[in-house]
Structure formats: structure tokens, C-alpha cells
Structure 1
Amino acid sequence: MSELFDEVDEEVRREQFKKLWDKYSIYFIALMVLIVAAVGGWRAYQYLEAKKAAEAGAAFEQAVTLSEQGKHAEAETAFTELAAKAPSGYRTLARLRAAAEAASRDPKAAAKMYDDLAADRGVGGEWQDLARIRAAGLLVDSASYADMQQRLEASATPKSTFRHTAREMLALSAWRNNDMTATRKWLDAIAEDGETPPGLRSRAEALAALLPPVAKS
């Protein structure tokens, strides 16, 4: 008798499953199609992104080769084109290199290119800091100390990645603009930082030796 009941229960379950399948099978099939399409789309996206990165890498290397061959105008054009269409990582590198190539023909134009990069929050803080340092390096011999302060003071703080270079340029700018108090300030910051590179420390000590007596105390 129990076997008969089991057979009846099994038949009822099959009938219920069939009704559910007839009612919802179209949704299940549609879901499976969507999953397959999504996976396929993601794979296609990954492939295209990898292809773009590979193409950008090859174009970047070609531009570097042009630069190494002394073809700076061609290299600048190549880097500028790459900066307009490459994936984000290569785009930032290309903008930096384009500005570096421009520096040999027009330092002020190159500084403006670096300034534009420094103002772009989309590239990230350290890239922005590097662009500020590069721009300041092109202008340190001509800009006022106030201008250099505005450009570099934030990069000269104790935790900044490029603080050593920023402090040295601020000291040099203050010296060039005859602001001995500011020169002393930045030389002291260099001397008191235990992580100051030895070469920079030596240059700072040489500049400190040139200060007038009143600025040495």
C-alpha cells in the first residue's frame, strides 16, 4: 500500500513540476540567455580593453623611440595623439611625456601643459604633484618667489612624496629673488628631514654656506 502512495505522490510532483515549467520556462530560458549574453559581453569588453592597452603600449614605445632619436617634434606629436585616445594610464604618461618634449622648444608652453595636468583631479594626487614639480622646474629661474610658493608649498609638506625636490626649488627661488629668510626656512626644512637624499643635502649645505651672516643664525 505504501508503494502505491509513493507512486501517487511522485505522479503529483511530476504534474506540479510540469505545470510550473509550462508557466515559467520562458522566464528561465530568458534568464539563461541574459546570463550567457552578459558573460559574453564581459569577455568581449576584456578583450577590447586588453587590445587597446597593447596598442597604446606599442604606440608609447614608438614615441619614446622617436624621443631617443632626437626627433622631439615628432615625439611630441605622437605623445599628444596618444594622450587624446589612449586608456587612462597611458593617457597620463603620454601627457607628461608630451610636456617634456615641448620643454625643449617652449618651456612656458610646456609648463602650461604640466599645469593643466596638475589641475586635472581625474589623474590622481601623486601625478598632479609630479606635474606641479615639473612645471616649477621649468620656471624656477624666471618666476617670482611668490609664484613658486603658490605652486610648491603644498608639495613641500612633511608627508608629500616630492617634498625634497619642492623644498630645494623653493630654496633656490627664494635665493634667486633675494629672500634670505625664506631661503633659510627651506634649507632648514631640508636639513631637519632625516629622509633627505644625500646629494640634495650636500647641495643645500653648499647654498647655506653662501648665505649672509644675518641669515645663517
Structure 2
Amino acid sequence: MSDIFKEVEDDLRRERLKTLWDRYGIFVLGAALLIVIITAGWRGYEAWETNRDRTAGDTYLTVLNEVEGVSTAGSADTLLAFAADAPGGYGILAEFRAATILADAGESVRAADLLNTIADDGEAPAVYRDLARIRQGQVLLDAGDAQAAVDVVSGLAEDAGNPFYASAQELMGLAAYAADDLSGARRWFTAVTEEVGTPPGVRARARFMLALITQTAPEADAAGTTAEEAN
């Protein structure tokens, strides 16, 4: 008797499943198909993106070889033409290289403007934007515009958590030195040497500048020492 009841229950179960499948089966199949399509599409996009980046990298190396050792505006324009359609990372690298070529070619204004564009690009990674500020400050300082360099890097020089903090302080010191503010230069270079996280190269240059200030203008060194003692 129990077998009969079991068979009846099985029949009822199969009937219910059939009813459910007839009602919702199309949706189950649709969802499964959608998952397959999305997965295949995503894998295809990843493959396309990888191929695009690989192609962009190869093209970038080719462009670099073309402009190697040629510091002309034309070489910079070649890099900028590549950057216009390159994926983000390669485009920014090309723009940095173009800015360096422009600066070497004596076109400091164009170089500084290009670096300012990178620094103001809200879609660029923060580290690239800050590096652009540092490089822009260097270009402006080399061009003889110390105040403009200060305006560009002063914010970074006051942000102890920024990875370019020491480099910005060094530029502030160089800008002060270029403006004949030897006491100010001494303060900045001293801060660079005393900062725990200062890179060895930056620290060594700061010590050299402090020695130069002491040798050429001992009165500035004495004034700085007196001010520190007073504090």
C-alpha cells in the first residue's frame, strides 16, 4: 500500500514540476542565456582591452624610437598625436615625454602649459597630477620664473603626506635661492635634510645647497641659526 502512495506522490510532484516549468521555464532559459551572453561579452572585452594595451605599448615604443635624441617641437607633436588616441596610461606617459622635449627645445611655455593640463585632468591618477606639478615647477624654475614655480608647488610642499613632499620642498628652496632669498632657501633646505622620509638623492642635494649658502653668504646662515635659537 505504501508503494501506491509513493507512486501517487511522485506523480503529483512531477505534475507540479511540469506545471511550473510550463509557466516559468522560458524565464529560466532566458536568464541562463543572458548569463552566458554577459560572460562571453566580458571575456571578449577583456581580450580586446588586453590586445589594445599591448598594441598601444608597441606603438609607444616605436614613437619613442622615432624621437630618441631629437629635441624639437616636431618630435613633441609626434608624441602628442599618439597621446590623443592612446589608452590613458600611455597617453599620459607620452605627454610627459613631450613636455620634456619641449623644455629641452627651449619652448618652456608650451611645456609648462602641457604639464598644467595633466595636473588639471581630473580623470588622471592623483600621482600623475602631482608629478606634473613637480615637473611644471622645474620647467618654470629653469625658465627663470621662480614665483610661478612657487605658485605651482607650494601646496605640495605643505602636504607632508604627499609622495612628492620632499621634492616640492626642494623646489621651494631652489626658488627662494633663485630669488636671492637666502634665509628662506636655508629654511627649506634644512627642512628637507631633517625630514625622515626624504629620498637620499634629494637630501644630498639639499645638504650641498646648505653648504653653498653657508660658503657664499654666511650672514644668511647666521640669521637662520639665530632665528632657530629664538624659537
Q: Same fold (TM over 0.5)?
A: yes
Pick which of 3-12 and 127-136 moved more.
127-136
Partner of 1:84: 84
Q: How far apart are 1:49 and its partner, in Å?
A: 0.6
Q: How far apart are 1:191 and its partner, in Å?
A: 2.6
Q: How far apart are 1:53 and its partner, in Å?
A: 0.3
Q: How far apart are 1:74 and its partner, in Å?
A: 5.3
> Are the structure 2 counterparts of residues 99 and 76 from structure 1 closer, same or farther at C-alpha, using a change threshold of 3 Å?
same
2: CA distance, partners of 1:208 / 1:159: 28
SS in 2 for 1:70: coil
Q: What stretches of structure 2 of length at least 5 have no aligned partner?
A: 223-231
Q: How far apart are 1:76 and its partner, in Å?
A: 2.3
Structure 1 position 213 matched with structure 2 position 214: no
Aligned 1:45-56 pairs, distance under 5 A: 45-56=45-56
Q: How far apart are 1:18 and its partner, in Å?
A: 0.8
SS in 2 for 1:121: coil
Q: 1:46-92, CA deviations, whole angstroms, 9 ceiling, x for partnerless residues?
A: 11111110111011111221232537555423321232222222222
Q: CA RMSD in A?
A: 2.1
Does the Cα contact within 8 Å between 2:99 and 2:111 map onto a contact in 1? Answer: yes
Structure 1 position 185 matched with structure 2 position 150: no
Task: Give the counterpart letter for 1:83 in structure 2.
Answer: A
> Are the structure 2 counterparts of residues 104 and 98 from structure 1 closer, same or farther at C-alpha, using a change threshold of 3 Å?
same
Does the Cα contact within 8 Å between 2:99 and 2:115 map onto a contact in 1? Answer: yes
Aligned 1:30-109 pairs, distance under 5 A: 30-70=30-70, 72-73=72-73, 75-105=75-105, 106-109=107-110
TM-score with structure 1 length normalisation? 0.89
Moved over 3 A (4+): 71-75, 141-146
Q: What stretches of structure 1 of length at least 5 have no aligned partner?
A: none
Does the Cα contact within 8 Å between 2:115 and 2:132 map onto a contact in 1? Answer: yes
Does the Cα contact within 8 Å between 1:64 and 1:75 map onto a contact in 2? Answer: no
Partner of 2:205: 200
